[in-house]
Amino acid sequence: MWCSRVALRQLQRATVKPLALTGAPVGVMQRDMSTLPRVYVTRQIPPEGLRILHESGQVQFELWDSDDVPVPRKELLQKVKGVDALLCVLTEKIDAELLDAAGPNLKVLSTMSVGFDHLSLEELKRRGIRVGYTPDVLTDAVAELTVALLLATSRRLIEATHEAKTGGWGTWRTLWLCGHELANSTVGILGLGRIGVAIAERLAPFKVKKFIYTDMCPRPDLASDINAEYVSFDELAKQSDFLLACCALTPETHEICNKNLFSKMKKNSIFINTSRGGVVNQNDLYEALATNQIAGAGLDVTVPEPLPTDHPLFTLKNCVILPHIASASYSTRNAMSSLAANNLLLGLQGEPMLKELKL
């Protein structure tokens, strides 16, 4: 597993070399710049990525200069016209409409995300557009946040903080705000990949009794790292005291966590999702939590994002909801932007990207 700080240093060293323009007359330099590939960046990405693009001297780029508000769709469709490459984040839907607006010059797409459910892969493949993404560098940050969310949910930390602030903290009581421990528990992982393994490695010191997982097929190489047992989907639901959704969002996993899953889980079980909101049927989850079919849920991802403040899930004390912050550490986000920038530059050069989706 890459530590994000180590990954960032490696990506900084791997930065594509700048175009040699030293000593050229200003007019020549300006003409050279005007003929460089055009790039549109859909967000004010962390500074390392922007520095790499600027110092490379290989592209001319424009960006939507905001980190708070996504670029409006109408504006995006205008800005991508004629660009050679696009650097986006997961809030931008890259579909046939956008690719038509961009036109035939678009040859490289780099997304600052490990997930790619916002991309129309078939359209990109049909048009011969290369796609870079940013796995690995966020593994540690996501694993850490998943453990934090699990503990906050299972030990009812948000409820406890609220009680302390609002006067609910009275005399000591024997069963008040009791939660569920990791010690001697069974932890189930839905979708065993790099992040699932990293989470299990962090949970092992809590004296977890057993790790189990399910996936499209057994993954013995990864499972051996955490001594995890492959089980069926039903057995994952039945055995898990803590069930962690770590799978990618695909047509096969869309709303795979539904009443069928929740109805088979233990009443004292905790469900955690730090993958994609679309893997959960939120109506079914609400029912499972409201009727105490399961003990609690912690979500870093929802549908939609942001989740409306009047959504029923927010009314439940046994549901902890975070605003999609799993990869939100300074070192990780800079490493992601560095990798996205380098993927883009290498793609424009016709070289192998550091991390490329094989379409």
Q: Which of 54, 180, 254, 324 is catalytic?
A: 324
Cα–Cα distance between 146 and 152 in angstroms, integer?
Answer: 10
Cα–Cα distance between 4 and 325 in angstroms, integer?
Answer: 15
Q: Compute the C-alpha angle 340/324/182, nearest 5°.
A: 115
Query: Which of the 8 DSSP states describes residue 229?
Result: E
Residues 6+ apart with CB under 8 A from 83: 38, 39, 40, 102, 105, 106
Say if CB 74 and CB 96 are below 8 A apart. Answer: no
Q: Which two tokens stand for residue 200?
A: 């299990």
CA-based nearest residue to 147, from 198, 186, 113, 183: 198
What are the backbone dihedrals phi and psi of residue 357, each rounded to the nearest 5 degrees, phi first? -75, 130
Output 182-186 pairs: Cβ under 8 A, ≥24 positions apart: 182/150, 182/154, 182/206, 182/207, 182/208, 182/242, 183/207, 183/208, 184/208, 184/209, 185/209, 185/210, 185/241, 185/242, 186/210, 186/211, 186/212, 186/239, 186/240, 186/241, 186/242
**Residue written as tokens 């931008």?**
92
Is residue 254 flagged as an active site residue? no
Q: What positions carry a catalytic annotation?
A: 324
